Amino acid sequence: MPIDLDKTEEIFASSTDLTVGLEEEFAVLDPQTLDLAPRFEELRDSAAERDTVLFEGITGELISSEIEIVSGRGEDLHDAIALQRDRRRRLFALAAEQGVALGSTGTHPWADYRDQRNIDTEHYRRVVAGLGYVARRNNTFSLHVHVGVRDADRAVQVCDRLRPVLPLLLAVSASSPFLEGKDTLLHSVRSQTFTKSFPRCGVPDAFGAWRSFRDYLELLIATGSIVEYTQVWWSIRPHASFGTVEVRVCDAQITAAESEGLAALVVACVGQALREIDEGVAIEHLPHRLLEENMWRAIRYGMDGNMIDLARGVEIPTRAAVEALWEWTAPVREEARIDVALEGQTGAQRQRTALLATGDLREVYADTVRETMISYAQEVPA
């Protein structure tokens, strides 16, 4: 389908600020071995026969051993979380009935990408044909958060304003220290695998307004660089179909509470950015090369390291930078009743600590899968 940028402008013009949609990606696993299992199609077809709500809330990703569950549009964060909890409960119940386990870390710790089968859809056939090894190699799992933004100019400006925040969101979410049976020494090897390999990925440039962003998209379309808007894979982007800003930088989370806490932080960041845009608060758009320094620090060290305070040109603990982000979002969090609970270790920290204690990567992953199966399968609170 041709990309209709006029339609995109109309969608953003009619969008509503701070509606929320959640997208969570899970590894589909053999419950005995915890190897990746290519059973997405079975789960999808079973949902189609038995549970319309679930069927409408799940989608495939690049490989058949991955499944994504989406909340749909929530009128606010609380509504989106309620929708997502219901669909999670349905998915995990179906998976149990079908003899499937579900995992939720940014990467599978030992799977060989060469053994994975890609799903057979027009979109993913195009991705694999166009990107080859880059696409095949990307067996990763993420949390994406959509936040409604009225007006295309404001959506682009939110993305601009949140560019320096992306490394902090990645550090807080890091949950992928292991790949191919090894401790990579990274905290988010998912980001290294995906963000550093795919084209049009990572931290975008600052565009200032929709017109500049549209000019860029029109160049990509005219030169045959993209045929679908979703081939712009940045860590934050205005979403052409939904009238949202989509934040795509976070690893998948081991527990539902962590996933919801991150989603709340993302919504608060978008809300605070909108507030400053509407109040005319000035911002300096930092060069991509400087932001990439902090992105690397998030990938390598997560919450264990330091970030560069780019305003002062000095290092500060990443935890202090996240605390400053917390303070920055306080007005919107209070106004919109957004609770953000991000205390304790990240998924990467917990997994690495467990590996040092046990020396057994499979045991560590089995523990994360148990956490995931318990927390995401819980009933919706009354």
Q: DSSP states of 223-272 as a string?
A: TTS-SSGGG-EESEEEETTTTEEEEEEEEP-SSHHHHHHHHHHHHHHHHH
Query: What are the distances in angstroms from CA 348 to CA 22, 143, 177, 221, 287?
Result: 22, 15, 6, 38, 29
- Residue that is written with structure tokens 């000019």 in the block: 215
Determine the average pLDDT of the residues in 91-103. 96
339 or 247: whose pLDDT is higher?
247
Measured in degrees and rounded to the nearest 5, phi and psi for residue 209 equal -160, 160
Q: What is the pLDDT of residue 380?
A: 44
Determine the average pLDDT of the residues in 20-43. 97
Q: What percentage of the chain has pLDDT greater than the value 70?
A: 98
What residues pair up with 20 in beta bridges, in sequence order? 74, 147
Burial of residue 289, with CB atoms counted within 10 A of its CB: 0-12 exposed, 13-18 middle, 19 or more buried? exposed
User: Residue 224: CB partners within 8 Å, gap ≥ 6?
Assistant: none
CA distance 7 to 314: 44
Q: What is the pLDDT of residue 2?
A: 66
Q: What is the pLDDT of residue 123?
A: 83
Tokens of 188: 């988010």
Q: Which of 185-199, 280-294, 303-317, 336-350 has the lowest mean pLDDT?
A: 336-350
**Class of domain 5-376 as given by CATH:** alpha beta
- pLDDT one-digit tens code per residue, 205-220: 999 999 999 999 999 9
Q: What is the pLDDT of residue 68?
A: 97
Q: What is the pLDDT of residue 379?
A: 55
- pLDDT one-digit tens code per residue, 106-115: 999 999 999 9
Q: What is the pLDDT of residue 27?
A: 98
User: Residue 248: CB partners within 8 Å, gap ≥ 6?
Assistant: 142, 144, 233, 234, 235, 236, 237
Determine the average pLDDT of the residues in 87-112. 97
180: left (phi over 0), alpha (psi -120 to 50) or beta: left
Q: What is the pLDDT of residue 381?
A: 43
Whether residue 139 contacts residue 63, with contact meaning beta carbons closer than 8 Å, is answered with yes
Indicate the pTM of the whole model: 0.95
DSSP code, position 144: E
Q: What is the pLDDT of residue 353?
A: 97
| Average model confidence (pLDDT) across the chain | 94
